[in-house]
Each structure stands twice: as structure tokens, then as C-alpha cells.
């Protein structure tokens, strides 16, 4: 499908058209061609004329035209090019330079071709020469042709007089022939090309064009007549000067910026004089230097390529030059393969192995437009790139970009991204980029997500594929079966949690960026992060509500974290003050409102929002992040607000939702008591006979910074304060998440930091203490933040530690009741450390990165 668009770019790939809309609409052609009208003169002339076109009544006319069209190419091609040529302003379709030889020997073909264009509503602008005719006349008058050493025709006053007549004769000959076929044409003998003497002494009446006046040309088209121009120019004061017709045509083209600049001559092509074969196409950006260096590229060919480059450098990228013959013109214009020689700018491809020279703005916006990229994460994604060897392949305007990464362990290059704009998919730049990838990578694998029909191109490019669900793994060049098996295994394993990296191609827009897609891509991104996080450029964390003890502890943790940095710290009370205890950069407390948060999210300024606000006030900030609609940044909320919300992931990794956390974007961080209690009760939940009771005592840091009796040191001295005797929010939280009722009574004591939980669990079967301990050891094997011990843990030993300690395991005489103790630092594993643990998981870092372990 792509190859059929090869030449679309050359003539107007910036034009959007939907081919399918035109399939089967040939019958409706005149409707598309709204400019196609017959005037009464045309009709009369048609009736008078004996030529093929005019034999038709207007009714049959369409059929004839269509037959002609269909003879030269497929319906699709014709419709496609017709549409492209018709979409630009009428005077911007084509400038056609007609050589004098064509007027002499191929007038009928020329007139037929031009008539054809005219009938389908296109208005080519014709500039003609009259070389052979001039030579003939000069010869008759006994004047030598008068070429100077440098190929310029020296023109005397006598010659100019003759030239003037010859030009107007030739011009009228063409105009008349066109008119005879009902093709309205207008002779334009002057007033368009303004020139200076090239060198009066040396060449006489030879001009170099200084200005082009488009008015006459435009007026002619407006009146519905093809402008037929001679190449005579004049000085501002009106002296006629002779100019080279090719030059005149290209000056006209520079002024009108047409899609096509066409040179019609008898040869009808440029020829490789070495192989004697036609040069089909020249992509100047890639091939110009090569052509210029070829010994066989000389004289006219050399000049034509050089002039075409000079011309096309000044025209839009979509413009191209065609060299063809009068009777091949339709084929050149309305088929993919063309007939003559096409010269276009072509594609300059680039390759980078570092981001230094990449136009990151362009790359970013291309990736951002990719329907499978989560918009907010492009910056972050790109920042992870430099963590492993990679190559970026792209074209100059970033219509296509491919990112191949080289993970040593896999040993086979992985095409991680392949993003194409709509424009890119309409021309063969996609294939060019692909070729360049293939040249560098003898083996490759990649994954594409989406419907079967959207994968056609990939099936075509790959040697093998393996589909599971909506994702297909593609590869080529992988000789080693074992390696392939292992890649397929990885691929299928990654499907369980959707972690593969879906690539995309433009056109695969059937699936939009739904929440699930975002999640998919988010996790893909995380997987990459996780795999390559050794030298990550830090993820940016904003802390909202930084004044509390938890905030402070979190800041300290981030300060020592290998992959995180704080971007913003917001606190109403501390606004404007410098953030102490943070050394990675200087941060001033701000006081962010929802609107600012939305903006920041939109701008991708934050990878992770940490909400450390009192209960009940977080919602507007979360809403602001959502409203930004800029991809899913991670939000970790430390309040109780979302702990009962199904859409949020509850952040207690040790109790079975670690995998969910890896792909989570909304995490509610559990309460301190709730963390300790759940970890302490969970292994015994299947054996609970009636509700466990938890007697919890917290240090007064748990009562926050807002003055109250519960954090009043004097009041706490020699004291213990029970509170929330029933229905404490953590009681609900524990019961909710354990799925069994738990009774919990909190207390606050005079120590600052830490919690002790004394937990009584009635059991439905008898246990020995050692069995219970074993059960716990079993359950928490490998957990770095849980210590199962035999003796009774105490607050003092656990304060300022990042783990939970569970011990005691006193079983009563019946064996059906156990009392155990759990200690936890309310500010750490009870809050900040756990938040960090969750962030690590969700951003794909090592789970305990930045968490001091002992
Ligand atoms: N019809 C297309 C165009 O006008 C393609 C022409 C291709 N020509 C060629 N010589 N390869 O641009």
C-alpha cells in the first residue's frame, strides 16, 4: 500500500485525500471537476472539428476521457493524481516548458495532451521555445546560429527581429491548434518576463530574467484559457530580449510554485548514457552529489539536474520536475510509475545514536501524535533512552522516526518505536527509513498492537510473526531458533501483564488512546525504565502538602534516591521559603493551586505527584491532573481519600498487589496503623474464628503538626491517650482490605515516632507458636521491608527504620488464640517509605531504590 504512494510526495503529499472516497466515483468525475464546463464556443468548435475529442457530444465526452484515463493507469492512480493536481490553486498545477522541436514534430500529441488536461479542469501554463525554427529562419536569412562559447545564443538586432516573428508564429500555431480542439488558449507574447541585458557587449539582445509578472497568466486562467507564453522578455522600459526557454520556465515556476515543472522534449527523458537506460527518478537530497560525480553526467543532463536542483530548492518540498514527451505526458502525470524522468527533492534521512543532535521538539511531537504513545510520557521516555545503546532513524521533517535499542542480554536489536505521520505514510519515506534500518540491523524484532488489517505493512516487512491477543511480535533475520523461542516466550509472558511495547504506524488509528491503552503504554514505559534504570535521568516528583512530618521524611528519601528528583514542593504555610534538607537542587516552597497543577501536568513537568495533604482535600488536585488530559502521570495519595476507591490501586505491595502497582497510575498509600495491622494479620486471615483486635499505640508524630492534645508533649508526658474508640478510619481500612472484620483501638503516647500494635487473633484451628512464625516467614520470604522475629518487637528498636517487625507470636493454652506484636515507623513504612516503594514500582525502578535497608 505504501509503495503505491511513492510519488504522491513528489507532487503533493501535503494534500490530504481519502482515496477510498473516490473509489468507484469515476462516473461522478465532472462533479469533482467543478471547473469543467463547456462554453457555447467550445461546443460549436467541437461540432466543427473533426478531431476525436470533438466528435463526442458533451454526454459522451466524459466516457472518452475516462477511457483515456483508464488506458494509462489504474482507476486508483488516475483518481489519486487527478485529485492531488486539482487541490492546489489552478495556476499552481504545472508549468510546462515545450521545446521548439515538439512544436515542430509532435504538435498533435502536444495538443492532445494539453486538451486532455484542460478537459479534466487542469490549467497547465505553457512556455515554449522555438530553437529549430529559429535556426531554420536564420539559415534562410544567411545568419549563423550565433551560439557563443558558453552556449548562449548571441542575439543581434536582426536576429531579435526574426526571433520575435518566429516566436509569435509558433505561439499562434499552438494556440490555434488548441482552440481548434475546443481548448481555450491565450497567446501571451509579452509582459510576463522582465529582464536585464545579460551582457550587452558580449551577447547582444539576450536577457537575464529579473522579475516575473504573473498577472497575465492568472487572468488567462481566470478566463478559462490556457496561458501560452513565448520566452521573449523585456526590459522595464520595453526593449525585447531573448531568453532561454528553459530558464524562462524555471523562473516562472519559481514565481508560481507549481506542483510540477514539466519539460517536454522529443527525447522524453534523461538517459544514463553509460547504461543507455532511462533515469526513472532522481532524489536530489540523496543522489545529487552522486550524479554530479558521474563522468557520464555532462552537457544537457548535467545542466538539467543542476537547474532542477536550483529550482526545487526554492519550491515547496512537494514540487517536482518531470522530463517527458508530449505523448507520454498523461502517463507521467497520472500513474505511479510515470513515463519520463522524475526529479524531486527526495528524502534526506538521518541517523543518531545520541540525543544531542536530534531535533527533540520534532521527535517529541511525532511520538506524541503516535496514537499508542501516552502523551505525558514522551519526555520521560526519551530520557530513559540514553540508558542503553540506541539508534534513531528519521527523515528531515520527522514524518517518520524509528527507535532501535540494543539490549545486550537479548542480543537482537529491538525496534521500540516506529512512528509515522499521516504525511509520512502517504509517501515512500517510510520504506526508505525501513531500508536504512535494515541495512544496519541484520536482525530485528518488534511488537505491534492493533487490528490485523493495520499490521499488513509489518507482515510484509517481517520474516516471521507471532500473534497473541491484539499484539503481534514480528521479526526478521533471527537465525538462532533458541533465541527466537526465548523472545517469543518473553513476549507471551509480557502479555499476562500487558508490558510489551506496542509500536504504531499511522493509519492504525482504529484504537484510540483509551484508559487501557494508556495503561499499556505506561507499563511498557515502566518496563523499559526498570530494565535500564541504572543511569536514568531522574523522574520529577512534585510534593503537594509538604509541611507535615511525612512530607519531610519523603523529601529526605527523595534526596537520597538514585532516580528521583523533586521538581516542586507545595505548602501553603511555607510558600516562598527555601526547602531545607534537600541538596539536589534549590527548591523554594510554592503554594500550587489546581489550575497551576493542571498546567504543569499539561506541560509534562511532573512524572509523579505525591499528595501529602490532610484527609478530604485532595480531590481538586487529582481532578486537575486528570483535567489536563495529558497522559497519566503517577499520583500517590497519602491521605485516606482513595483507600476505598476501586479505581485506585491500594499501595501495599507485600499483600499481593505488587504486579498491579507496577502498572498503576493512581495509588492510594495505606495508613500507618493499617499497614502494620494488615501485615500482621494477613497470613492468619484464613484461620480467623472471630474478629481480631488490635491495640495500637502511636508516637505523637502521628497526630500531625496541627496543635492538639494528642501532640501536646506536656499533656503526653507520663500519659497515654486512647482515641477513636470505635470506627477509626484505619479500622475500616484494615477490615476492608483484609476482607474480615478487625477491631482496632488507637492510642497516642509520649514518644515521637513509631507504632506498636498488639494484636489478638482468635483462631479456628490450633497452632503452635513456631508454626505461626513459620507461616509468617513463609509468607514474607524475600520481603525486604518485613522482618519476622521470635521475640517481642518494641517501638524503640523500630523507630526510624523502614521495615515492619512482626514477632511475639504468643499462643495460649488452647492453641486457638495468638497474640503478636508488630512495630512500624508511622512516618516511614507507615507513610513516606511505603509511598516511595509504590513509586519505585509504578515508575519501574527497583522496589527499594532509595530506601535504606539494613
Ligand atoms: N504521476 C506521478 C507524478 O506526477 C509519478 C510520476 C513518476 N515518474 C517517474 N518518472 N518515475 O509525480
Domains and CATH numbers, the chain: 20-270+281-344 (3.40.1160.10), 349-533 (3.40.630.30), 537-641 (3.40.50.720), 672-832 (3.30.360.10)
Cell digits of residue 418: 516506529
- Residue nearest (by alpha carbon) to ligand 1 atom 7: 338
**HSE value, Cβ hemisphere, 13 Å, CA-based, for 334:** 26
For residue 576, count other CB atoms closer than 10 A to its CB.
Answer: 8
C-alpha–C-alpha distance, residues 720 and 723, integer Å? 10
State if residue 4 touches ligand 1 by the CB under 6 angstroms criterion.
no
State if residue 320 touches ligand 1 by the CB under 6 angstroms criterion.
yes
Look up 672 and say whether it is catalytic: yes
Query: Whose CA is closest to 88, among 282, 262, 284, 319?
Result: 319
226 forms beta bridges with 185
What is the position in ligand 1's atom list of the atom closest to the CA of 11?
12
List of the chain residues with pLDDT < 70: 1-71, 73, 75-76, 372-376, 408-410, 425-427, 452-453, 494-537, 631-632
Query: Whose CA is closest to 255, among 216, 306, 288, 205?
Result: 216
Cα 222 to ligand 1 centre (Å): 27
State if residue 11 touches ligand 1 by the CB under 6 angstroms criterion.
yes
Candidate of 69, 283, 320, 336 to mutate for ligand 1, largest count of ligand atoms within 8 Å of Cβ: 336
Query: In sequence order, what are the residues at sequence separation of 6 or more whose Cβ sits closer than 8 angstroms to the Cβ of residue 455?
Result: 448, 472
Strands 539-544, 564-570: parallel, antiparallel or unpaired by DSSP? Answer: parallel
Local structure of 393: helix, strand or coil: strand
C-alpha–C-alpha distance, residues 588 and 575, integer Å? 7
Cα 284 to ligand 1 centre (Å): 15
pLDDT of amino acid 537:
65
State if residue 12 touches ligand 1 by the CB under 6 angstroms criterion.
no
- Residue nearest (by alpha carbon) to ligand 1 atom 4: 333
CA 528 to chain centre: 18
Cα 814 to ligand 1 centre (Å): 93
Cα 123 to ligand 1 centre (Å): 18
- Residue nearest (by alpha carbon) to ligand 1 atom 8: 338
- Residue nearest (by alpha carbon) to ligand 1 atom 1: 333
- Residue nearest (by alpha carbon) to ligand 1 atom 3: 333
pLDDT of amino acid 64:
53
pLDDT of amino acid 478:
83
pTM of the model: 0.46
Cα 342 to ligand 1 centre (Å): 6
Query: Whose CA is closest to 826, among 673, 713, 707?
Result: 673
Q: Which letter does DSSP use for residue 586 in this model?
A: -
State if residue 332 touches ligand 1 by the CB under 6 angstroms criterion.
yes
Cα Rg of the chain (Å, integer): 39
Strands 94-98, 260-264: parallel, antiparallel or unpaired by DSSP? Answer: parallel
pLDDT of amino acid 385:
84
Amino acid at each position: 500500500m505504501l509503495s503505491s504512494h511513492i510519488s504522491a510526495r513528489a507532487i503533493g503529499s501535503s494534500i490530504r485525500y481519502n482515496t477510498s472516497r473516490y473509489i468507484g466515483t469515476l462516473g461522478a468525475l465532472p462533479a469533482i471537476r467543478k471547473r469543467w464546463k463547456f462554453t457555447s464556443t467550445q461546443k460549436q468548435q467541437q461540432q466543427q472539428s473533426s478531431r476525436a475529442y470533438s466528435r463526442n457530444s458533451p454526454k459522451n465526452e466524459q466516457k472518452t476521457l475516462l477511457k483515456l484515463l483508464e488506458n494509462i493507469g489504474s482507476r486508483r492512480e488516475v483518481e489519486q493524481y487527478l485529485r492531488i493536481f486539482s487541490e492546489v490553486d489552478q495556476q499552481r498545477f504545472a508549468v510546462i516548458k515545450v521545446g521548439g522541436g515538439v512544436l515542430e514534430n509532435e504538435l498533435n500529441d502536444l495538443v492532445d495532451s494539453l486538451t486532455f488536461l484542460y478537459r479534466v479542469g487542469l490549467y497547465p501554463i505553457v512556455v515554449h521555445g522555438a530553437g529549430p525554427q529559429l535556426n531554420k529562419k536564420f539559415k534562410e536569412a544567411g545568419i549563423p546560429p550565433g551560439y557563443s562559447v558558453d552556449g548562449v545564443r548571441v542575439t543581434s538586432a536582426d536576429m531579435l527581429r526574426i526571433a520575435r516573428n518566429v516566436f509569435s508564429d509558433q505561439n499562434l500555431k499552438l494556440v490555434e491548434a488548441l482552440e481548434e480542439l475546443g481548448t481555450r488558449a491565450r497567446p501571451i507574447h509579452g509582459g510576463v518576463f522582465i529582464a536585464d541585458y545579460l551582457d550587452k557587449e558580449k551577447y547582444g539582445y539576450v536577457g537575464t530574467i529579473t522579475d516575473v509578472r504573473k498577472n497575465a497568466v492568472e487572468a488567462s486562467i481566470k478566463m478559462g484559457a490556457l496561458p501560452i507564453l513565448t520566452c521573449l522578455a523585456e526590459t522595464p522600459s520595453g526593449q525585447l530580449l531573448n531568453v532561454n526557454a528553459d530558464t524562462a520556465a524555471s523562473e516562472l515556476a519559481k514565481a508560481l510554485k507549481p506542483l510540477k515543472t514539466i519539460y517536454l522534449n522529443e527525447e522524453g527523458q534523461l538517459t544514463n548514457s553509460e547504461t543507455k537506460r532511462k533515469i526513472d527518478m532522481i532524489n536530489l537530497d540523496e543522489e545529487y552529489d552522486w550524479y554530479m560525480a558521474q563522468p557520464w553526467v555532462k552537457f544537457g543532463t548535467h545542466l538539467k539536474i543542476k537547474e532542477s536542483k536550483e529550482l526545487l530548492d526554492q519550491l515547496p518540498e512537494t514540487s517536482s520536475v518531470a522530463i517527458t514527451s508530449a505523448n507520454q505526458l498523461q502517463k507521467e502525470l497520472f500513474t505511479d510509475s510515470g513515463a519520463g524522468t522524475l526529479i524531486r527533492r527526495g528524502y534526506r534521512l538521518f541517523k543518531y545514536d545520541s540525543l544531542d543532535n536530534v531535533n527533540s521538539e520534532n521527535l517529541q511531537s511525532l511520538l506524541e501524535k503516535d496514537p499508542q504513545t501516552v502523551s505525558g510520557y514522551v519526555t520521560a521516555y526519551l530520557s530513559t533512552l540514553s540508558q542503553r545503546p540506541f539508534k534513531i532513524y528519521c527523515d528531515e521533517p520527522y514524518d517518520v522516526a524509528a527507535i532501535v535499542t540494543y539490549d545486550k542480554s537479548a542480543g537482537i536489536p529491538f525496534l521500540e518505536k516506529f512512528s509515522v505521520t499521516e504525511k509520512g505514510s502517504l509517501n515512500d519515506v517510510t520504506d526508505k527509513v525501513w531500508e536504512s534500518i535494515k541495512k544496519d540491523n541484520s536482525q530485528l524484532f518488534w511488537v505491534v498492537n492493533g487490528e490485523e488489517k493495520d499490521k499488513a505493512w509489518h507482515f510484509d516487512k517481517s520474516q516471521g510473526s507471532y500473534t497473541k491477543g491484539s499484539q503481534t511480535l514480528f521479526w526478521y533475520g533471527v537465525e538462532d531458533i533458541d533465541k527466537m523461542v526465548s523472545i517469543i516466550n518473553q513476549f507471551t509472558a509480557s502479555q499476562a501483564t500487558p508490558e510489551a511495547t506496542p509500536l504504531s504506524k499511522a493509519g492504525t488509528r482504529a484504537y484510540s488512546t483509551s484508559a487501557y491503552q494508556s495503561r499499556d503504554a505506561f507499563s511498557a514505559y515502566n518496563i523499559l525504565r526498570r530494565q535500564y534504570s541504572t543511569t536514568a535521568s531522574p523522574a520529577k516528583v512534585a510534593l503537594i502538602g509538604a509541611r507535615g512530618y511525612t512530607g519531610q521524611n519523603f523529601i529526605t528519601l527523595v534526596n537520597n534516591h538514585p532516580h528521583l528528583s523533586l521538581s516542586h514542593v507545595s505548602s501553603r504555610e511555607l510558600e516562598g521559603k527555601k526547602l531545607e534538607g534537600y541538596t539536589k537542587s534549590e527548591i523554594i516552597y510554592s503554594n500550587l493551586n489546581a489550575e497551576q497543577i493542571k498546567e504543569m501536568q499539561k506541560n509534562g513537568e511532573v512524572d509523579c505527584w505525591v499528595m501529602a495533604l490532610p484527609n478530604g482535600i485532595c480531590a481538586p488536585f487529582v481532578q486537575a491532573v486528570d483535567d489536563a488530559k495529558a497522559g497519566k502521570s503517577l499520583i500517590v495519595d497519602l491521605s485516606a481519600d482513595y483507600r476505598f476507591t476501586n479505581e485506585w490501586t491500594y499501595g501495599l505491595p507485600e499483600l499481593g498487589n505488587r504486579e498491579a502497582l507496577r502498572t498503576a497510575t493512581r495509588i492510594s498509600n495505606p495508613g500507618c496503623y493499617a499497614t502494620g495491622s494488615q501485615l500482621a494479620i494477613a497470613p492468619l486471615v484464613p484461620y480467623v474464628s472471630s474478629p481480631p483486635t488490635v491495640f495500637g499505640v502511636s508516637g505523637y508524630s502521628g497526630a500531625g503538626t496541627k496543635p492538639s492534645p494528642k501532640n501536646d508533649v506536656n499533656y503526653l508526658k507520663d500519659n497515654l491517650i486512647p482515641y477513636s474508640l470505635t470506627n477509626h478510619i484505619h479500622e475500616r481500612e484494615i477490615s476492608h482490605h483484609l476482607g474480615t472484620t478487625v477491631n482496632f483501638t488507637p492510642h497516642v503516647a509520649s514518644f515521637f515516632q513509631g507504632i506498636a500494635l498488639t494484636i489478638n487473633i482468635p483462631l479456628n484451628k490450633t497452632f503452635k507458636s513456631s508454626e505461626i512464625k513459620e507461616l509468617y516467614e513463609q509468607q514474607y520470604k524475600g520481603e525486604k521491608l518485613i522482618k519476622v522475629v521470635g521475640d517481642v518487637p518494641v517501638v524503640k528498636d523500630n523507630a526510624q527504620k523502614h521495615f515492619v517487625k512482626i514477632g511475639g507470636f504468643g499462643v495460649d493454652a488452647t492453641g486457638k488464640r495468638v497474640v503478636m506484636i508488630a512495630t512500624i515507623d508511622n512516618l516511614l513504612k507507615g507513610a513516606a517509605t511505603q509511598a516511595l516503594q509504590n513509586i519505585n514500582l509504578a515508575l519501574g525502578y527497583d522496589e527499594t531504590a532509595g530506601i535504606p535497608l539494613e
